[in-house]
Structures are given as structure tokens and as C-alpha cells.
Amino acid sequence: MVKKEDDLRKRTFEFAVELVKFLRTIKYSKENEVMRYQLAKSGTSIGANYEEAGGAFSKDDFKYKIAICYKESRETNYWLRIMKVAEISRSKKLDYLISESFELKKIFASTMTTLRK
């Protein structure tokens, strides 16, 4: 049986890979480069911090890493929505990434709520 943690680890990794692939399709402009850079950082940080949470030294360290995952998910969703509304891309992949970043945000928000109890 696969643990939920393994599923989320795989999910955050796959999200980062799909995001990087998507970013390669964005046409060059100064404005787009700012968004590509911000998205590359925040979108790949979600999984990286979740990986770090798995090796946390304490419960507080784990909570902190999960909080970063939540914040990075929010930021990623923000930049993706800008790309959609500004019509930087009309790709179906963008719709998927917006949806998935929102779902990841909800997962990490729920995890933080559980950890506070």
C-alpha cells in the first residue's frame, strides 16, 4: 500500500516537472521572463520543501516546511492566474496547472490545520 505522503511527494514532483515543461513554451518578453522566473522558483519550491519536511528535525521544523509549501502553492497559483487573465498562454496545460496549484494549496492548508490541533 502506498502512503499518502508518497502520493503527495510524487504529485508535487510531477507538478514541478509539468510546470517547467510549460514554462519552456512561453514566448520571450521582459514581462514574461519575470513571471517565468517567479513561477520556476515558487512552483518547484513546493515539492522541494515537501521533500525537506520529510527529513525534518522536529515537529516545529516539519510545520515550518509545510507552511512554506502552502505559501509557495499560493504564490504559484497567483502567477499562473495572471498568465491566464493576461492571455500569455491559452494552453490546456495552464488550466491544469492552475487547478493543481489550487488543490496543492488546499492540501497544505488542511495539513497545517491538522498540525495545529
C-alpha cell at 81: 492566474
Structural domains in the chain, sorted by start:
4-116 (1.20.1440.60)
Query: Tens of pLDDT along 81-114?
Result: 999 999 999 999 999 999 999 999 999 999 999 9
23 touches 48 (CB < 8 A)? no
DSSP state of 1: -
- At residue 87, φ and ψ (nearest 5 deg) are 60, 40
Buried b (16+ CB within 10 A) or exposed e, 24-40: eebeeeeebeebbeebb
- Whether the predicted pLDDT of 1 surpasses 50: no
